[in-house]
Amino acid sequence: MGLHVLKFGGTSVGSLKRLENVADIVSARAKEHQVIVVLSAMSGETDSLIEQAKHFTQVPNPRELDVLLTVGEQKSVALFSICMLARGIKAKSFLGSQIQIKTSNDHTKARITEIADHGVRASLKRGEIVVVPGFQGVTETGELTTLGRGGSDTTAVAIAAALKADVCDIYTDVEGVYTTDPNIEPKAKKLSSITYDEMLELASLGAKVLQTRSVEFAKKYKVPLHVRSTFKDVQGTWVLEESKLMEALVVSGITYTKNEAKVVVEGMPDRVGIAADLFMKVGEAGVGVDVIVQNVSKDQTTDISFTVPRSDLRKAIEVIDKHKDVLKHKQIRGDDRISKISVIGNGMRSHSGVAARMFQALAKENINIQMISTSEIKISCVIDEKYSELAVRVLHDCFGLDKIGNQEIEIKEVNDFR
Ligand code: ADP
Ligand code: ASP
Ligand code: MG
């Protein structure tokens, strides 16, 4: 008998009927294992709560917003536990504040710092199925917090890590992790396995199937993750350490994100320390920067372009203009119609030529590359937003991702992966 954590996302618990389907899956698993269930709010619920808060103001008080948002998941766990108990199966819900899922106090984007596990082990010992709301936590001083959109994944993985679970199943509305978003590219193929590092890049570059923070936890504590369908009982995708991987693809995924904007600062004096001054000011304003490009200088002046979260574009421009006396730029431009397309693959570590192939494929479609950034296992290009979907399809084709074998692997014992 092992300990399994099963997380179900919003669509999976989207109606009372779907909660019954979840109850079937959980009951079957509980015959052989101890089970902790982590649930999201029913689909649309979190959005609708945010909408309601915005009826009064576009910037609701973050503390109160968190009190409101925890309601969605609380409703799911209570309904689910009622459903299980009505079937004669022992189940008990515990809120984040009861288990003591401790977080930082950054309301609406808090980070888990500790899980105290109050009552969970005892409940499991009593043969109960433990039911936990995803997405919510509590600060040292007892304030309710939430973990950012998609945060239930992180709750599940953090609990699996804290209680040393044998596996963490992420049940969702697709059959696993695909070569790209299957809702955009119908030719996308399900991957049988993927490394933590690849998944980390995929998640942070736009594949919302797992929240990035959850993958960081999984990697750090070596929690084997199985992303799979709630609606079809088939093998999904295993997220594992590199050494346990079945097959390394040169490129295993394509993502795009439209949540960034580009800032171009033109005509700054090309002196030592100008980049430091610029990014210090931007950083002090609390704006994070991603891709950076500095042009070759001409006439002792230089241009620097960089990307920021789209919601921070105005703030970035304002702070730079405020420091015109130091930065001495001639002009500043903002563009929020950009998209970042990325190709990700562990095999890039040992294969060259991926970047050239990517650039060629985009050029063939007349898609201009505005900025480029790379890491050991990814290449990202900033392009005009209107070409996002086209670029995803072209790159998916160019790297032959629609042709990779649907390598169904036999997984008899999840413990094989530990
Ligand atoms: P849940 O509510 O179960 O947490 P999410 O909506 O957060 O589900 O994440 C699942 C969605 O992620 C899918 O419906 C799909 O549209 C999207 N997605 C984006 N990229 C990928 C990818 N590479 N593989 C699988 N799904 C992806
Ligand atoms: N309910 C939250 C959201 O919609 C958390 C989650 O579903 O993971 O973002
Ligand atoms: Mg999600």
pLDDT, greater one: 105 or 249: 105
Ligand 1 pocket test, pick from 18, 208, 399 with the greatest ligand atom count within 8 Å of Cβ, gives 208
Amino acid identity, position 369: I
Q: Is the pLDDT at 237 greater than 50, yes or no?
A: yes
Distance CA 250, CA 348 (A): 5
Cβ(14) – ligand 2 distance below 6 Å:
no
CA 375 remoteness from chain centre: 18
Q: Is the pLDDT at 300 greater than 60, yes or no?
A: yes
Determine the topology of domain 3-173 in CATH: Carbamate kinase (3.40.1160)
Q: Please report, for residues 91, 237, 286, 365, the alpha-carbon distance to residue 14 in angstroms, rounded to integers and kept in the order given.
A: 20, 23, 36, 40
Residues 380, 291: contact at Cβ < 8 Å?
A: yes
What was the pLDDT predicted at 316? 96
Averaged pLDDT for residues 390-410? 76
The string of DSSP letters for 240-260 reads E-GGG-S---S--EEEEE--E
Determine the topology of domain 243-418 in CATH: VC0802-like (3.30.2130)
Residue 275, C-beta contacts closer than 8 angstroms, at least 6 positions apart: 294, 304
Distance 150 CA to ligand 1 centre (A): 10
Cβ(173) – ligand 1 distance below 6 Å:
yes
Structure token digits, residue 193: 């396995």
What was the pLDDT predicted at 245? 60
Neighbours of ion ligand 3 (CB under 5 A): 9, 150
Least confident of 167-176, 212-221, 374-383, 395-404: 395-404
What was the pLDDT predicted at 243? 66
Structure token digits, residue 208: 């919302």
Find where tokens 């008080």 sit: 61
- Nearest ligand 2 atom to the CA of 73 is 1
pLDDT tens, residue by residue, 326-337: 999 999 999 999
Averaged pLDDT for residues 200-213? 94
Least confident of 89-103, 235-249, 254-268, 274-288: 235-249
> What are 98-103's contacts with CB under 8 Å, separation 24+?
99/132, 100/138, 101/136, 101/137, 101/138, 101/155, 101/158, 101/159, 102/137, 102/138, 102/139, 102/140, 103/137, 103/138, 103/139, 103/145, 103/147
> pTM above the 0.85 mark?
yes
What was the pLDDT predicted at 85? 98
Averaged pLDDT for residues 54-74? 97
Cα angle, residue 199 at apex, residues 355 and 105 outer, rounded to 5°: 120
What was the pLDDT predicted at 136? 98
Least confident of 27-31, 358-362, 400-404: 400-404
Closest residue by CA, ligand 1 atom 9: 209
What was the pLDDT predicted at 409? 31
Q: Is the pLDDT at 49 greater than 80, yes or no?
A: yes
Distance CA 135, CA 73 (A): 7
23: buried, middle or exposed (CB in 10 Å: 19+, 13-18, 0-12)? buried
Partners of 190 in the β-ladder: 178
Residues 36, 115: contact at Cβ < 8 Å?
A: no
Q: Is the pLDDT at 365 greater than 50, yes or no?
A: yes
Distance 150 CA to ligand 3 centre (A): 4
Q: What is the mean pLDDT of the chain?
A: 92
270: buried, middle or exposed (CB in 10 Å: 19+, 13-18, 0-12)? middle
Find where tokens 């094989």 sit: 416
Residue 292, C-beta contacts closer than 8 angstroms, at least 6 positions apart: 279, 304, 305, 306, 373
Averaged pLDDT for residues 295-309? 90
Ligand (nearest to CA of 39) = 2
Cβ(236) – ligand 2 distance below 6 Å:
no
Closest residue by CA, ligand 1 atom 21: 181
Place 348 in a pLDDT band, splitting at 50, 70 and 90: confident
Closest CA to 72 of 185, 152, 167: 152
pLDDT tens, residue by residue, 99-145: 999 999 999 999 999 998 889 999 999 999 999 999 999 999 999 99
Distance 183 CA to ligand 1 centre (A): 8
Averaged pLDDT for residues 302-312? 94
Question: Torsion angle of alpha carbons 263, 268, 274, 280, nearest 10°?
Answer: -40
Place 246 in a pLDDT band, splitting at 50, 70 and 90: low
- Nearest ligand 1 atom to the CA of 152 is 4
Cβ(171) – ligand 1 distance below 6 Å:
no
Cβ(150) – ligand 2 distance below 6 Å:
yes
Place 413 in a pLDDT band, splitting at 50, 70 and 90: very low
Q: Is 4 helix (H, G, I), strand (E, B) or coil?
A: strand
pLDDT tens, residue by residue, 137-195: 999 999 999 999 999 999 999 999 999 999 999 999 999 999 999 998 999 999 999 99
Cβ(75) – ligand 2 distance below 6 Å:
no
Closest CA to 110 of 136, 87, 134, 85: 136
What was the pLDDT predicted at 247? 60
- Nearest ligand 1 atom to the CA of 177 is 24
Residue 3, C-beta contacts closer than 8 angstroms, at least 6 positions apart: 33, 34, 35, 36, 124, 163, 164, 165, 166
Ligand 1 pocket test, pick from 43, 135, 153, 173 with the greatest ligand atom count within 8 Å of Cβ, gives 173
Ligand 1 pocket test, pick from 174, 193, 231 with the greatest ligand atom count within 8 Å of Cβ, gives 174
- Cβ neighbour number for residue 319 with a 10 Å cutoff: 18
What was the pLDDT predicted at 104? 96
Averaged pLDDT for residues 240-258? 80
Residue 119, C-beta contacts closer than 8 angstroms, at least 6 positions apart: 94, 98, 99
- Nearest ligand 1 atom to the CA of 254 is 23
Q: Where are the domains of the chain?
A: 3-173, 243-418
Partners of 404 in the β-ladder: none
Q: Tell me the residue length of the chain.
A: 418
Residue 326, C-beta contacts closer than 8 angstroms, at least 6 positions apart: 277, 281
Q: What is the CA radius of gyration of the chain?
A: 23
Identical fold between 3-173 and 243-418? no
159: buried, middle or exposed (CB in 10 Å: 19+, 13-18, 0-12)? buried
Distance CA 170, CA 283 (A): 35
